[in-house]
């Protein structure tokens, strides 16, 4: 098991009750999003407007506010692929989750 269910539930509750959280999209992630949605301009900074948990395989997914309310494509991205400013109220909790998940994934890949 990659994620601790109790810790994920706690972080999910905090993320869902928080106002939209500003995040930064990396250039490599931006290129992937452009491939998926070539007609929608992809900003380098946007907000996380919702979160869902996709189980151990995908972890916490963030719904980004790219393209506005009328966009035909939902932009869901793993929280591990996003950067957050350190001064945000949940930055520490997000960083702990990201590090833990990345560490577990690397260990798991080493066994395959």
Token pair listed for 88: 């945000």
Length of the chain: 112
Question: What gap in Å lies between CA 100 and CA 104, rounded to an integer?
Answer: 6
Residue 38 lies in a domain: yes
Number of domains in the chain: 1
Residue 109 lies in a domain: no
Question: What gap in Å lies between CA 21 and CA 107, rounded to an integer?
Answer: 30
Q: What is the mean pLDDT of residues 57-75?
A: 85
Strands 60-64 and 82-83: unpaired
Q: What is the pTM of this model?
A: 0.87
Residue 66 lies in a domain: yes
Residue whose structure tokens are 């007609």? 39
Say which residues have a Cβ less than 8 Å from residue 21's Cβ, sequence separation at least 6: 15, 47, 48, 84, 88, 90
Whether residue 69 has pLDDT greater than 80: no
């Amino acid at each position: 098991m990659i994620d601790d269910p109790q810790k994920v539930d706690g972080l999910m509750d905090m993320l869902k009750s928080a106002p939209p959280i500003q995040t930064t999209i990396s250039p490599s992630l931006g290129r992937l999003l452009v491939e998926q949605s070539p007609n929608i301009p992809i900003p380098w900074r946007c907000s996380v407007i919702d979160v869902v948990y996709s189980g151990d395989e995908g972890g916490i997914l963030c719904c980004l506010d790219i393209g506005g309310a009328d966009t035909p494509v939902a932009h869901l991205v793993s929280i591990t692929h996003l950067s957050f400013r350190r001064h945000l109220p949940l930055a520490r909790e997000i960083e702990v989750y990201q590090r833990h998940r990345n560490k577990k994934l690397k260990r798991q890949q080493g066994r395959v």
